[in-house]
Chains A and B, each alone.
Chain A
Amino acid sequence: MTTIEGKTGPWEMVIGLEVHAQVIADSKLFSGAATTFGAEPNSQVSLVDAAMPGMLPVINEMAVEQAVKTGLGLNAKINLFSEFERKNYFYADLPQGYQISQFLHPIVGEGTIILDLEDGKTREVGIERLHLEQDAGKSLHDQHPTQSYIDLNRSGVTLMEIVSKPDMRSAEEAGAYLRKLRSILRYLGTCDGNMDEGSMRADVNLSMRRPGDPLGTRTETKNVNSIRFVQQSIELEARRQVEILEEGGTIAQETRLFDASKGTSRSMRSKEEAHDYRYFPDPDLLPLKIKADWVESLKSELPELPDAKKQRFMDDFGLPVYDAGVLVADQETAAFYETVAEGRDPKLVANWVIGDYFGALNRTSGANLGNAPVDAAKLGGLIDLIADGTISGRTAKEVFEAMWDSGKDASTIVEEKGLKQISDTGALEGIVDQLIADNPGQVEQYKGGNVKLIGWFVGQVMKATQGKANPGMVNQLLKKKLD
Chain B
Amino acid sequence: MSKLTHLTLTEARDGLSKGDFSARELTQAHVEAVEACRSLNAFITETPDKALDGADASDKRRSKGEAGVLEGIPLAIKDLFCTQDVLTTAGSHILDGFQPQYESTVSANLWAAGAVMLGKTNLDEFAMGSSNMTSYYGGVENPWRREGSNAPLVPGGSSGGSAAAVAARCAMGATGTDTGGSIRQPAAFCGVVGMKPTYGRCSRWGIVAFASSLDQAGPMTRGVRDAAIMLRGMAGHDPKDSTSVDTPVPDYEAAMNGDVRGLKVGIPKEYRIDGTPAEIDTVWQQGIEWLKAAGAEMVDISLPHTKYALPTYYIVAPAEASSNLARYDGVRYGLRVQGDTLDEMYEATRGEGFGAEVKRRILIGAYVLSAGYYDAYYNKARRIRTLIANDFKAAYEKVDVVLTPTAPSAAFGMGDKMDDPVAMYLNDVFTVPASLAGLPGISLPAGLSADGLPLGLQLLGQPFEEGTLLKVAEVLETAAEFDALPQIIS
Q: Do B332 and A276 touch (CB < 8 A)?
A: no
A-B contacts at CB below 8 angstroms, number: 101
User: Which single member of B102, B212, B326 contacts A96 (CB below 8 Å)?
Assistant: B326
Cβ distance A60 to chain B, nearest Cβ, rounded Å: 12
Rounded to whole angstroms, the CA-CA distance of A90 and B345 in the bound complex is 12
A283 within 8 A of B: yes
A34 within 8 A of B: no
What residues on A are CB-neighbors of B81 within 8 Å? 54
A482 within 8 A of B: no
A59 — nearest CB in chain B belongs to which residue? B242
Cβ distance B431 to chain A, nearest Cβ, rounded Å: 19
Rounded to whole angstroms, the CA-CA distance of A94 and B325 in the bound complex is 13
Partner-binding segment picked from B301-309, B363-371, B449-457: B363-371
What residues on A are CB-neighbors of B211 within 8 Å? 283
User: Which single member of A47, A90, A280, A286 contacts B102 (CB below 8 Å)?
Assistant: A47
What residues on A are CB-neighbors of B102 within 8 Å? 47, 52
What residues on A are CB-neighbors of B332 within 8 Å? 50-52, 95
A389 within 8 A of B: no
What residues on B are CB-neighbors of A59 within 8 Å? 242
Q: Do B327 and A96 touch (CB < 8 A)?
A: yes
Given the interface contacts A92-B342, A95-B331, A278-B370, does A53 sit within 8 Å of B90 by beta carbon?
yes
B183 within 8 A of A: no
Given the interface contacts A53-B327, A90-B329, does A286 sit within 8 Å of B98 by beta carbon?
no
Cβ distance A377 to chain B, nearest Cβ, rounded Å: 49
Given the interface contacts A86-B323, A278-B369, does A56 sit within 8 Å of B242 by beta carbon?
yes
User: Which single member of A56, A96, A278 contacts B366 (CB below 8 Å)?
Assistant: A278
Rounded to whole angstroms, the CA-CA distance of A286 and B212 in the bound complex is 12
User: Which single member of B95, B98, B320, B374 contacts A283 (CB below 8 Å)?
Assistant: B320
What residues on B are CB-neighbors of A90 within 8 Å? 326, 329, 343, 346
B432 within 8 A of A: no
B213 — nearest CB in chain A belongs to which residue? A283
Cβ distance B341 to chain A, nearest Cβ, rounded Å: 11
Rounded to whole angstroms, the CA-CA distance of A98 and B327 in the bound complex is 8
Given the interface contacts A47-B102, A54-B205, does A98 sit within 8 Å of B326 by beta carbon?
yes
Task: Please report whether the interface of chain B is mostly helix, strand, loop or mixed according to DSSP.
Answer: loop
Cβ distance B349 to chain A, nearest Cβ, rounded Å: 11
Cβ distance A53 to chain B, nearest Cβ, rounded Å: 5
Most chain B CB within a 10 A radius of its CB, from A54, A58, A91, A95: A54
A75 within 8 A of B: no
Cβ distance B83 to chain A, nearest Cβ, rounded Å: 11
Cβ distance A26 to chain B, nearest Cβ, rounded Å: 16
B244 — nearest CB in chain A belongs to which residue? A56
Q: Do B323 and A284 touch (CB < 8 A)?
A: no
Rounded to whole angstroms, the CA-CA distance of A283 and B331 in the bound complex is 24
Q: Do B205 and A53 touch (CB < 8 A)?
A: no
Contact with A along B194-222 (1 / 0, CB 8 A): 00000000001111110111000000000
B82 — nearest CB in chain A belongs to which residue? A54
Contact with B along A43-69 (1 / 0, CB 8 A): 000010011111111110000000000
What residues on B are CB-neighbors of A92 within 8 Å? 329, 331, 342
Cβ distance A461 to chain B, nearest Cβ, rounded Å: 82
Q: Do B331 and A54 touch (CB < 8 A)?
A: no
Rounded to whole angstroms, the CA-CA distance of A91 and B329 in the bound complex is 9
B104 within 8 A of A: yes
Q: Do A280 and B319 touch (CB < 8 A)?
A: yes
Chain B 96-113 interface residues, beta-carbon cutoff 8 Å to A:
98, 100-102, 104
Q: Do B323 and A88 touch (CB < 8 A)?
A: yes
What residues on B are CB-neighbors of A148 within 8 Å? 342
Rounded to whole angstroms, the CA-CA distance of A55 and B332 in the bound complex is 14
Chain B 276-331 interface residues, beta-carbon cutoff 8 Å to A:
319-320, 322-323, 325-327, 329, 331
Given the interface contacts A88-B323, A283-B320, does A54 sit within 8 Å of B333 by beta carbon?
no
Cβ distance B103 to chain A, nearest Cβ, rounded Å: 10
What residues on A are CB-neighbors of B370 within 8 Å? 276, 278
Rounded to whole angstroms, the CA-CA distance of A256 and B451 in the bound complex is 69
Q: Do B100 and A52 touch (CB < 8 A)?
A: yes
A455 within 8 A of B: no
What residues on A are CB-neighbors of B207 within 8 Å? 54
Rounded to whole angstroms, the CA-CA distance of A284 and B98 in the bound complex is 23
Q: Do B239 and A58 touch (CB < 8 A)?
A: yes
Cβ distance B21 to chain A, nearest Cβ, rounded Å: 35
A285 within 8 A of B: yes
What residues on A are CB-neighbors of B213 within 8 Å? 283
Q: Do A52 and B326 touch (CB < 8 A)?
A: no
Q: Do A276 and B242 touch (CB < 8 A)?
A: no
Given the interface contacts A90-B346, A278-B370, A286-B243, does A53 sit within 8 Å of B98 by beta carbon?
yes
B352 within 8 A of A: no
A96 — nearest CB in chain B belongs to which residue? B327
Q: Do B205 and A280 touch (CB < 8 A)?
A: no
Contact with B along A73-96 (1 / 0, CB 8 A): 000000000000010101110011
What residues on B are CB-neighbors of A282 within 8 Å? 212
What residues on B are CB-neighbors of A88 within 8 Å? 322-323, 326, 369
A290 within 8 A of B: no
Rounded to whole angstroms, the CA-CA distance of A353 and B333 in the bound complex is 58
Q: Do B326 and A55 touch (CB < 8 A)?
A: no
Q: Do B242 and A285 touch (CB < 8 A)?
A: yes
Cβ distance A278 to chain B, nearest Cβ, rounded Å: 4
B50 within 8 A of A: no
Rounded to whole angstroms, the CA-CA distance of A278 and B323 in the bound complex is 9
B430 within 8 A of A: no
User: Which single member of B101, B241, B327, B346 contacts A51 (CB below 8 Å)?
Assistant: B327
B137 within 8 A of A: no
What residues on B are CB-neighbors of A278 within 8 Å? 322-323, 366, 369-371, 374
A150 within 8 A of B: yes
Given the interface contacts A53-B327, A54-B208, A92-B331, does A286 sit within 8 Å of B242 by beta carbon?
yes
A86 — nearest CB in chain B belongs to which residue? B323
B240 within 8 A of A: yes
Cβ distance B209 to chain A, nearest Cβ, rounded Å: 7
4 further interface pairs, Cβ-Cβ under 8 Å (given A53-B327, A92-B331, A278-B366): A88-B326, A95-B332, A278-B323, A280-B369
What are 12 A-B interface contacts by the 8 Å CB criterion?
A51-B327, A53-B90, A54-B81, A54-B204, A58-B239, A58-B240, A58-B241, A59-B242, A88-B369, A90-B343, A278-B369, A278-B371
